[in-house]
Amino acid sequence: MGSNEMLSQDEIDALLKGTGLEEGVPENGGTNNYLDEMEADALGEIGNISFGSSATALSALLNQKVEITTPAVSIIEKKELASEFPQPYVAIEVNYTEGFKGSNLLVIEQSDAAIIADLMIGGDGTNPDPSLGEIHLSAVQEAMNQMMGSAATSMSTVFNKKVDISPPRLDLLNIHAGEGTDTIPDAEMIIKVSFRLKVGNLIDSKIMQVLPLQFAKDLIHELMNPPAAAPEPAVTMKMPEHQQSTHHQKQAPAAQSNPHSQQPARQQEDSYSPPQPEYDVKTAEFAPFEPMQSAGTENRNLNLLMDIPLQVTVELGRTKRSIKEILELSSGSIIELDKLAGEPVDILINRKIVAKGEVVVIDENFGVRVTDIISQQDRLNKLK
């Protein structure tokens, strides 16, 4: 560059920003070419409100203090996804079924997902299984389902309309290995809203919301340009005819005495209270008590109920297990019940115990022989 050559203003701005001047290539993470500052702030506020309530739902599930704060909005090109997501992640795809038309992706690091899964199945999160088996993925999916359901409820309040989502779909995302890339929005420009995620002393990381640029634009437009509310219909109060004539007679002198003073007359009209309706109140009358019907009539009435089906259940025993133990069940697992071998089983009619018996086999089918009928008084006590 010669001594007489001077830098243009664009070149000076580029040097101050530390970027090149290639046209059509936005600064990595920049939003100015696609979203102005107000739109970026609006999108961050939508995420902040939505995931603020999600933190409460996740905290109740994990029994840990959960914080989701500090949203940062950026735009990335689809070809730069590998550099934006360099390590294995867990991606949760959410589709909107009501209120909006579109989908977004919730992305968390695989190590964070392992801690959440361990907490969900009863662990303390200090020694999670990094392999993320089927049980762990199901636990993470349930946690994300609760989070996104809470977020949809918050969005219903923000946009003043019902917002609903389909059950989230979970997948492992490893862009370098080509795994889970079908869950990424099919758009050249993608919005990434990144939040700081803290779960007790176990997680201090990021949780990211990924959505197409056009869907983000639609959210921003509806937030900044809400539909006009329909005007409320005027309520007209009709008075009885005799009250109308009296009311007009009282208002006429005031209007004649001062035709320019209309405000007091309007106030008097607004303060008018319609007359209370008069009710015809009578003393309650009851029919005389009649003697009970004969036993024959009772039997005929009872016959009307004879063909009503009832559900008969024989209960072999019961037990209680934690969610972790239930999730660990597999073919061949043995569940120990609270009944001893040979002890009478319970016979229930519509889930109420009425008798006890012993299990028998009748022509290759199980049956039960009644050994004891619970007394009528005991059965009545169980119905309370």
The answer to the question of residue 377 being in a domain is yes
192 and 88 both lie in a single domain: yes
Region class of 266: left (phi > 0), else alpha (psi between -120 and 50), else beta? alpha
Q: Which residues contact 370 (CB under 8 A, 6 or more apart)?
A: 347, 355, 356, 357
Residue 234 lies in a domain: no
pTM comes to 0.51
The answer to the question of residue 2 being in a domain is no
Instruction: Assess contact for 76 and 190: CB atoms under 8 A.
Output: yes
Structure-block tokens of residue 1: 């560059």
72 and 202 in a common domain: yes
Range of the domain at 127: 25-224
User: Residue 202's pLDDT is what?
Assistant: 92
Residue 268 falls inside a structural domain:
no
Which one of 224, 239, 273 terminates a domain? 224
* CA 128 centroid distance within chain: 27
Q: Are 121 and 324 in contact (CB under 8 A)?
A: yes
Cβ atoms within 10 Å, residue 372: 10
The domain spanning residue 373 has which CATH number?
A: 2.30.330.10
- Using the CB atoms, write b or e for 317-356: b if 16+ within 10 Å: eeeeeeeeeebeeeeeeeeeeeeeeeebbbbeeeeeebbb
What is the pLDDT, as a whole number, of residue 253? 47
What is d(CA 28, CA 44) in angstroms, rounded to the nearest whole number? Answer: 18
301 inside domain: no
List Cβ neighbours of 248 (8 Å cut-off, separation of 6 or more): none
Strand 164-165 vs strand 103-109: parallel, antiparallel, or unpaired? unpaired
- CA separation for the pair 94, 209 (Å, rounded): 10
CB 46 within 8 A of CB 155: yes
Axis crossing angle, helix 213-224 with helix 134-159, rounded to the nearest 10 = 30
316 shares a domain with 204: no
- Regarding whether 212 and 316 lie in a shared domain, the answer is no
Domain-located, residue 279: no
User: How many angstroms separate the CA atoms of 193 and 29, rounded?
Assistant: 11
The enclosing H or E element of 67 equals strand 66-77
Is residue 153 within 8 Å of 159, Cβ to Cβ? no
H-state helical runs in the chain: 9-17, 37-62, 81-84, 110-120, 134-159, 213-224, 241-257, 263-270, 295-303, 323-327, 376-382
> Looking at the structure, do residues 51 and 186 belong to the same domain, yes or no?
yes
Co-location of 210 and 341 in the same domain: no
Residue 190's pLDDT is 85
What 8-state DSSP symbol labels residue 226?
P
Residues 40 and 171 in one domain: yes
Report the pLDDT value the prediction gives residue 203, as an integer from 0 to 100: 92
Residues 183, 68 share a domain: yes
Same domain for 183 and 35? yes
Q: How many other C-beta atoms are found inside a 10 Å radius of the C-beta of residue 300?
A: 11
Q: Among residues 190, 224, 258, which one ends one of the domains?
A: 224
- For 235-252, the three-class secondary structure string (H helix, E strand, C coil) is CCCCCCHHHHHHHHHHHH
Q: Tell me if 293 is assigned to some domain.
A: no
| Burial of 155 from C-beta contacts in 10 A (0-12 / 13-18 / 19+) | buried
Which of 159, 189, 224 delimits the end of a domain? 224
Q: Is 12 exposed, middle or buried (0-12, 13-18, 19+ CB in 10 A)?
A: exposed
84 and 209, same domain (yes or no) = yes
Task: Name residue 330's amino acid.
Answer: S
> Are 170 and 141 in contact, with CB atoms under 8 Å apart?
yes
Burial class (CB in 10 A: 0-12, 13-18, 19+), 314: middle
Does residue 203 sit within a domain? yes
- Tally the domains of the chain: 2
Residue 192, sorted as left (phi over 0), alpha (psi -120 to 50) or beta, turns out to be: beta
How far, in Å, CA of 171 to CA of 120, rounded?
18
* Residues paired with residue 206 on neighbouring β-strands, in sequence order: 196
Check whether residue 195 and residue 344 sit in a common domain.
no
| Mean pLDDT, 10 residues at a time, the chain of 384 residues | 54 49 39 74 83 83 86 83 81 86 86 90 87 85 85 84 85 78 77 89 89 86 73 50 48 46 48 62 70 58 75 88 86 85 86 87 87 78 62
Do 194 and 72 lie in one domain? The reply is: yes
Domain containing residue 161: CATH number: 3.40.1550.10
